[in-house]
Structure 1
Amino acid sequence: MAALPFRDINVHASASHYAFTSPSTPSAPTLVVDRPTGDLRLNDGGLLGGKRVSSIAGILGMIRLRLDKYIIVITKAQPMGRLKGHMIYKVIATEFLPLRERPLHDQDEDAFLAMLKAFVKSGPMYFSYSFDITNTFQRQAQLDVSQPLWKRADDRFFWNRFIQSDLIDFRNTGTRQHHGEQPGVDPYILPVMFGMLEIATTKINATPLTLVLITRRSRHRAGTRHFSRGIDEEGHVANYNETEQIVLLNDSTSGLGGFAGGGGMQNGKVGGASGKEVQIMSYVQTRGSVPVYWAEINSLKYVPKLQIRGVESAVSAAKAHFDEQIRLYGDNYLVNLVNQKGREKRVKDAYEQLVKLLVSTPYQRTQADSISDEKIRIVEPSGRHQAMDRLHYIYFDFHNETKGLKWHRAQLLLDQLSSALDEQQYFRGIDMPANLEGRLEVRNQQTSVVRTNCMDCLDRTNVIQSMLARTALNRQLTDIGVLTRGENFTSDPEFEVLFRKLWADNADVVSKSYSGTGALKTDFTRTGKRTLAGALQDGRNSLVRYGMNNFMDGTRQDAFDLFLGTYIPGTNHPFTDSRPLLIQSIPYIFAFSIFFVLVGVFTRRLPDSAVLPVRIFILFWLVVGGWCANFIFSNGMLYVNWPKLNPRPWAMEGFQESITKVHKDKLIGSFVSGHDRTLSTARYTNAEEGKKRIE
């Protein structure tokens, strides 16, 4: 039996170390973190002289910043419900334990800490002490359950993998004094998933069941909307999420009641309702950014500028991406929902060109109707001669077909996919009460996956994914006899409301972590129709997205990069503002001008006071404010909140172009310093990246 993570850990602190013990497992070794070095060791007995600090739910990880190293511990976790008898928790509160007894205060260190604390607080993270929530049920059925929980975790969704690397390295290799594997560390390593998880006990047609929705966000190429697009050289795409919809039948262990999750519950072996076998059915979908090199460049304009590099340069990266997707899921049905006209057309064309380069002897066919010249376009291989021939590209003109609130026309895409969905199947397993390891008897497997995308992989993608999930669920409930042939679960209003709520919640969580707001069009997902309130909410979300994407997302992206290890703090000062002082001051001058105009307009004047000076005063500040506003929006790239830890190449390139433009300004050009710290980097960027892009 594999060692599972400890459910209860006490932290003891002294001037020389932190010690972690499990009071429910007194025979387990104590994990010791020496201060201030951060060296790890296991101690078979208790350590004297340590004062008990607190009880924690687990160790999230360890991270070294500029001046100190910190242990991040989970201080509060909220039970979310049981999945096959295993309690799932959400991280609610954390604490950062510094290794230095007297922390050194530094402006950059404080900025790093504040950024991380805000990120961890806002990020929806989930874990279980006894169940692997990073893997689908189908993958779990193929894993070696004798392995520790962290070794079974899917590396893509092991969100705290980087900050657990100290513990993992120590577990695998030990130290110079204690060389070799240290399996005693296994119960201290707790894998955490980032995304969405909801468990709902319900019934349909008087049949009790549990409906679960899990969305796992990949830790690779993670980030914010306009600073994380497309694919990287290793084949990781932006905003990649795997969504698993699960139905459990005859499972009496779901919900928040019952045991606290002790040893008797570790494998969920608490029989099904009325002695019936527990059935688990799951359906998996994925989403991810269009896998070519492309970017959207903020400049304070509502619609960012689009850049796409030559498609041929992305072939090797895309091949690596789809090699993994095919290995994990089988055939991939690539549903593309971007617009076929306007600025999005270039992204559509790039995706289609990429698929044609990947598959052997591609052929394509197009369907048209009175609404669209290209309602559906399909690109498929003519045979199966290589691995990439398991890719099937389906373009659907979502924008035109659903224009005018005709959301029912999205069913045209599902009709096109019907034969593929029939062959795709879904996972079905039966709980084996006699199996002490908690394994399932596999009755059916899902053989392919639908990979959906739009520009952001958010709003349009959510609508289609919820429709696919609905189709799969109706099929599952029909196959097990809960629904009759031809019936669907819309006949049960309460279940319909629950289903819509789960998928609308999922849309909001995925969207918020990427764009900063809830999803658009969720009124349709929640109610089945577009409403005026929903349209107004979409307008509000769009405006908030604009503000966040331009003025806040740089800091959010830095937090992703810091937590996930794509940036390692050094001795440099990454938060230094390299813009000339005059350029930095213009927004403040603009704010002062508005203030002075308001003062001039609303200040009460004496009856005999002259009016002309006040009018001149107001006019002067109106002119100053107007010039400042025009300067800011004409040179928007100088005022976007860019990532500072891992500067984007296109940002540095555009930044330098804006600085050069300002130097030529007739009014303030001579007052702006010609020296700029980003110059050498921008020149290098221009040489390496600029020539590869197609404007």
Structure 2
Amino acid sequence: MASLPFRPFRDINVHASANHYAFTSPSSPTAPTLVVDRPSGDLSLNVGALLGGKRVSSIAGILGMVKLRLDKYIVVITKAQPMGRLKGHMIYKVIATEFLPLRERPLHDPEEDTYLGLLKTFIKSGPMYFSYSCDITNTFQRQSQLDISEPLWKRADDRFFWNKFLQSDLIGFRSSGSRQQLGQQPGVDPYILPVIFGMMRIASTTIKTTPLTIVLITRRSRHRAGTRYFSRGIDEEGHVSNFNETEQIVILNDSAGGLGGFAGGGGIQTGKVRGSGEKETQIMSYVQTRGSVPVFWAEINTLQYTPKLQIRGVESAVSAARAHFDEQIRIYGDNYLVNLVNQKGREQRVKEAYEQMVKLLLSSPKEGLQQDQYSDEQFRIVEPSGRHQQMDRLNYVYFDFHNETKGLKWHRAQLLLDQIHDPLDKQQYFRGIDMPANLDGRLEVRNHQTSVVRTNCMDCLDRTNVVQSMLARYALNRQLTDLGVLSPRETFTSADVAFEVLFRNIWADNADVVSRSYSGTGALKTDFTRTGVRTKAGALQDLRNSITRYVKNNFLDGPKQDAFDLFLGAYLPGSSSMTPVFTDSRPLLIQSIPYLLAFSLFFAFVGMFTRRLPDAAVLPVRLFIIFWILVAGWCANFVFKNGMLYVNWPKLNPRPWVTEGYNEAISHVRKDKIIGGMIARHDRHLSTARYTNAEEGKKRRE
């Protein structure tokens, strides 16, 4: 039997002194103490108690360490909320954190405070989850193939190890030690706690009197993470924006009710405590993915409701797309690429670019049209004519979602399932048995999922989640039928109304969480996911969400993107930088125009609604109102005509098209007949110098 590795400590005490921070676990008195030197940040392990330090607090774990402009900080989890048990292991959500500065007397600096504010807001709003004893970064199928004698952080999936950059100091110390302690340092393993970013829902319920646990986990990739309009498409390394892996888990006969942490015995840790007459615990999971269209494309905010679409040559992205799908095929097997973008209008270019990319990747593609049996609309399929190379495991399926479901005919989305019924039937699902005699925690695998459906729309949010919930429903009905919980041709929709409501709400919650982290609002179309019908009230809610998205994506997402880049190491603050990073570099006159607009509207309203004396002249007041209305109209026209200058862009890693668009907008303003001559020729603009810093951040993350 393989020996169980050290699990992350559930209880850590922090001791602080002028010279160091010391972290100890009271439940493991023989474990070495992790010491962080102040102010250098050097790490060491100490056997025995350190003298001279006072106990600061008890924490739930160490999120990591981050160096900002003037100081380095240890980020600790001060409050974690239990979310439920997954096969006996408790899962927690990060609720509150604290930044422990290494300098004894913190230096107050405006930029340092801005960095801290960005990180604190990001961590507070980001849904992050962890477990002390269960690897929630990996699906159950991947877990069954891993060496469970490895520490939890070493088994973690690199894509979903969300705090890996923050843990880089601890991981580096574990691998090679420090100047004081050379060589590998396994004693630091229990202090490294992997965290995922995404959605987690665990619900114990019944279906037709059969007790079971249903779990939904969505893991967001830490690569190319960001906000809706500042992170699109694919990068040179093959990472796509808004990539999420969603695993739907059903656990039958889950009687593991013990403590799910490292402090329990082996039987409790692995959920093997059962009576002699109890049934085997069965775990079934079904995995789907979503991700942005894997070509080089962007949508450029200009304050117009519909951003400007930019697609670079598809051929230039072939190597990046090949790297992306190489990884997807290696991890998931065959990929069924379900594309839901519109085939007409502005989205048509994205659809065509995706199809062109697939054709370039396949060795000898064949393309066909299949007639929709219910309408004149057509599905497009691109698949290989033979199986000669790795990319031939890609199968592209197009479904015109909006056109098929227009007029609130959402039942027609079922046509897509009919179209891919055979691949769904063939791909199977994962099934493992938790055997009582297998005390090392490994499942006995009875079935594997052999392929994955990768779904996308433009944002990979609303349409995508509707389709993914339909695929999950199909898989769950099949699993329950195979187990004998449902009879053949019976569905849980008709068999158990309460379970149907629970299923719908779990998937609607998933839609909202994934959408909120990317677009700033809950998802659209969740009324269909929650109730099964499209309603006018749901359409009105979608309108409100769309308006909120417009405001946030144009005026609030810049700092949010900066927070992503800081947390994930895509940007490294430099103490030697002489140019203030967060200073507004636009000419003062351009900055003042929105204020002049508000000022003009105020005076126009004052003129219109202020009571006049009986003998007061009317003409001067009318001229006053007309003047300020004209000024307000000119200001509003100027702002929307030069929208690139008023979008709240990311300041840490400016996008190339932002720099180009900004310079073009400034050149256009200089030609303005009214204010062109007042714009200084030597104004500072968005600099591309920080790209060097971004590349350094990328290397450090790797």
Question: How would you bin the TM-score normalised by the shorter chain?
Answer: over 0.9
Deviations 1:489-535 (A, max 9, x none): 00210000000011000000000000000000000000000112111
SS at match of 2:486: coil
Aligned partner of 1:456 among 455, 459, 473: 459
Deviations 1:296-329 (A, max 9, x none): 0000000000000111001000000000000000
> What are the equivalent positions in structure 2 for 1:283-682 lying under 5 Å apart?
283-369=286-372, 374-491=377-494, 492-570=496-574, 571-572=576-577, 573-678=580-685, 681=688
For the Cα contact (< 8 Å) 1:567–1:646, is it kept in 2?
A: yes
Deviations 1:193-251 (A, max 9, x none): 00000000000011000000000000000000011000000000000000000000000
Which residue is 2:696 aligned to?
A: none
Q: Does 1:121 find its partner at 2:124? A: yes
For the Cα contact (< 8 Å) 2:202–2:215, is it kept in 1?
A: yes
Q: Please give the alpha-carbon distance, in whole angstroms, between the structure 2 residues aligned to 1:40 and 1:148.
A: 19
Question: What displacement does 1:177 show?
Answer: 1.8
Structure 2 residue runs without a partner (length 5+): 693-702
Q: Please give the alpha-carbon distance, in whole angstroms, between the structure 2 residues aligned to 1:59 and 1:272.
A: 37
Which residue is 1:38 aligned to?
A: 41
Q: Does 1:112 find its partner at 2:109? A: no
Q: Please give the alpha-carbon distance, in whole angstroms, between the structure 1 residues aligned to 2:135 and 2:359.
A: 37
Q: Please give the alpha-carbon distance, in whole angstroms, between the structure 1 residues aligned to 2:508 and 2:519.
A: 16
Question: What displacement does 1:675 show?
Answer: 1.6
Question: What displacement does 1:169 show?
Answer: 0.3
SS at match of 1:333: strand
Task: Tell me the amino acid that sits aligned with residue 534 of structure 1.
Answer: G
Deviations 1:393-447 (A, max 9, x none): 0001111111111111111111111111111000000002212211100000000
Q: Please give the alpha-carbon distance, in whole angstroms, between the structure 1 residues aligned to 2:634 and 2:103.
A: 50
For the Cα contact (< 8 Å) 1:355–1:379, is it kept in 2?
A: yes
For the Cα contact (< 8 Å) 1:252–1:272, is it kept in 2?
A: no
Task: Tell me the amino acid that sits aligned with residue 222 of structure 1.
Answer: A
Q: Please give the alpha-carbon distance, in whole angstroms, between the structure 2 residues aligned to 1:308 and 1:535.
A: 30
Which segment drifts farther, 440-449 or 26-35?
26-35
Which residue is 2:697 aligned to?
A: none
Deviations 1:545-594 (A, max 9, x none): 00011001111111101100011111332212121110011111111112
Which residue is 2:695 aligned to?
A: none
Which residue is 1:244 aligned to?
A: 247
Question: What displacement does 1:103 show?
Answer: 1.0
Which residue is 1:171 aligned to?
A: 174
Task: Tell me the amino acid that sits aligned with residue 611 of structure 1.
Answer: V
Q: Please give the alpha-carbon distance, in whole angstroms, between the structure 1 residues aligned to 2:196 and 2:571.
A: 20
What is the TM-score when the length of structure 2 is the normalising length?
Answer: 0.95
Task: Tell me the amino acid that sits aligned with residue 205 of structure 2.
Answer: T
Deviations 1:617-662 (A, max 9, x none): 2222211111111100000000001111110011111111100000
SS at match of 2:420: helix
Q: Please give the alpha-carbon distance, in whole angstroms, between the structure 1 residues aligned to 2:238 and 2:57.
A: 42
Q: Please give the alpha-carbon distance, in whole angstroms, between the structure 1 residues aligned to 2:208 and 2:241.
A: 41
Q: Please give the alpha-carbon distance, in whole angstroms, between the structure 1 residues aligned to 2:179 and 2:41.
A: 14
For the Cα contact (< 8 Å) 2:88–2:260, is it kept in 1?
A: no
For the Cα contact (< 8 Å) 2:89–2:261, is it kept in 1?
A: no
What is the TM-score when the length of structure 1 is the normalising length?
Answer: 0.96
For the Cα contact (< 8 Å) 1:366–1:374, is it kept in 2?
A: no
SS at match of 2:247: strand
Alignment RMSD: 1.7
1:579–1:272 Cα change, 3 Å = farther
Question: What displacement does 1:132 show?
Answer: 0.2
Deviations 1:253-304 (A, max 9, x none): 36xx867773133222223795100000000000000000000000000000
Question: What displacement does 1:681 show?
Answer: 4.3
Q: Please give the alpha-carbon distance, in whole angstroms, between the structure 2 residues aligned to 1:627 and 1:273.
A: 82
Q: Please give the alpha-carbon distance, in whole angstroms, between the structure 2 residues aligned to 1:648 and 1:372.
A: 43
Q: Does 1:74 find its partner at 2:77? A: yes
1:162–1:259 Cα change, 3 Å = closer
Question: What displacement does 1:117 show?
Answer: 0.5
Which segment drifts farther, 601-610 or 316-325?
601-610
Question: What displacement does 1:156 show?
Answer: 0.1
1:575–1:372 Cα change, 3 Å = farther
Aligned partner of 2:210 among 207, 219, 228: 207
Which residue is 1:691 aligned to?
A: none
Which residue is 2:153 aligned to?
A: 150
Question: What displacement does 1:90 show?
Answer: 0.3
For the Cα contact (< 8 Å) 2:340–2:463, is it kept in 1?
A: yes
For the Cα contact (< 8 Å) 2:213–2:252, is it kept in 1?
A: yes
For the Cα contact (< 8 Å) 2:89–2:259, is it kept in 1?
A: no
SS at match of 1:420: helix
For the Cα contact (< 8 Å) 1:85–1:270, is it kept in 2?
A: no
Q: Please give the alpha-carbon distance, in whole angstroms, between the structure 2 residues aligned to 1:49 and 1:348.
A: 65
Q: Please give the alpha-carbon distance, in whole angstroms, between the structure 2 residues aligned to 1:322 and 1:295.
A: 20
SS at match of 1:367: strand
Q: Please give the alpha-carbon distance, in whole angstroms, between the structure 1 residues aligned to 2:635 and 2:361.
A: 50
Which segment drifts farther, 19-28 or 572-581?
572-581
Q: Please give the alpha-carbon distance, in whole angstroms, between the structure 1 residues aligned to 2:78 and 2:653.
A: 31
Q: Please give the alpha-carbon distance, in whole angstroms, between the structure 1 residues aligned to 2:260 and 2:164.
A: 30
Which residue is 2:63 aligned to?
A: 60
For the Cα contact (< 8 Å) 2:79–2:95, is it kept in 1?
A: yes
SS at match of 1:275: coil
Deviations 1:7-50 (A, max 9, x none): 00011111111111101111111111111111111111111111
Deviations 1:74-101 (A, max 9, x none): 0000000000000000000111111111
SS at match of 1:487: coil
> What are the equivalent positions in structure 2 for 1:179-194 lying under 5 Å apart?
179-194=182-197
Which residue is 2:264 aligned to?
A: 263
Q: Please give the alpha-carbon distance, in whole angstroms, between the structure 2 residues aligned to 1:441 and 1:103.
A: 54
For the Cα contact (< 8 Å) 1:372–1:400, is it kept in 2?
A: no
SS at match of 1:467: helix
Q: Please give the alpha-carbon distance, in whole angstroms, between the structure 1 residues aligned to 2:226 and 2:78.
A: 26
Task: Tell me the amino acid that sits aligned with residue 402 of structure 1.
Answer: T
Which residue is 1:689 aligned to?
A: none
1:250–1:659 Cα change, 3 Å = same
Which residue is 1:692 aligned to?
A: none
1:490–1:193 Cα change, 3 Å = same
Q: Please give the alpha-carbon distance, in whole angstroms, between the structure 1 residues aligned to 2:156 and 2:687.
A: 42
> What are the equivalent positions in structure 2 for 1:19-30 lying under 5 Å apart?
19-30=22-33
